[in-house]
Every structure is written in structure tokens, then in C-alpha cells.
Structure 1
């Protein structure tokens, strides 16, 4: 039974660095607020005249 507890601990110890790595890669992929800036840019453009 103690082996099951050690297995869970090893899984948690491995998951923390992997999670931190994924979070850091995801946050660098697209700067914060980029989506909002694109939406604001589209909203502020004047409609093109035909």
C-alpha cells in the first residue's frame, strides 16, 4: 500500500515542472492582450466607402 502512495508523490513531482514548462511556453506564444488589441483595432476602423 505504501508503494501506491509513493507512486502518487512521484506523479505529482513530475507534473509540477511539466506544468510550469507548458504554462511558460503558452504565455510566450501570444503576448497578453493581443486578442483584445486586434478587436479594438477592427472596431475603430472606419467603414470603407463604396
Structure 2
């Protein structure tokens, strides 16, 4: 989970014991793609 997103629940519920995985700690929702909205290869010209 992103560090900023998990900051509050980590502090309030887990006594700051949660640690974000290195692979995802900086991920943002804006980094995600919406595969359902992407055009198939045949339309992408």
C-alpha cells in the first residue's frame, strides 16, 4: 500500500507497525491504467 495512504490507519490501528512493500510504497491511483477503456490494437491507429 502507498505510504501516504496507509499513514493514518497505521498510526491509529497498528501502532506504526505496518511497513509498505518496497515495490508499491510509492504507487498512486493515477499510475493505474483502465484496461477496459483501452482500445484494441486494431483500433489504435
TM-score class normalised by the smaller sequence:
under 0.3
| TM-score for both structures, normalised by structure 1 | 0.26
- Greater helix percent: which structure? 1
Higher RCO structure (Cα 8 Å, ≥6 apart): 2
Larger Rg: 1
TM-score when scaled to structure 2? 0.27
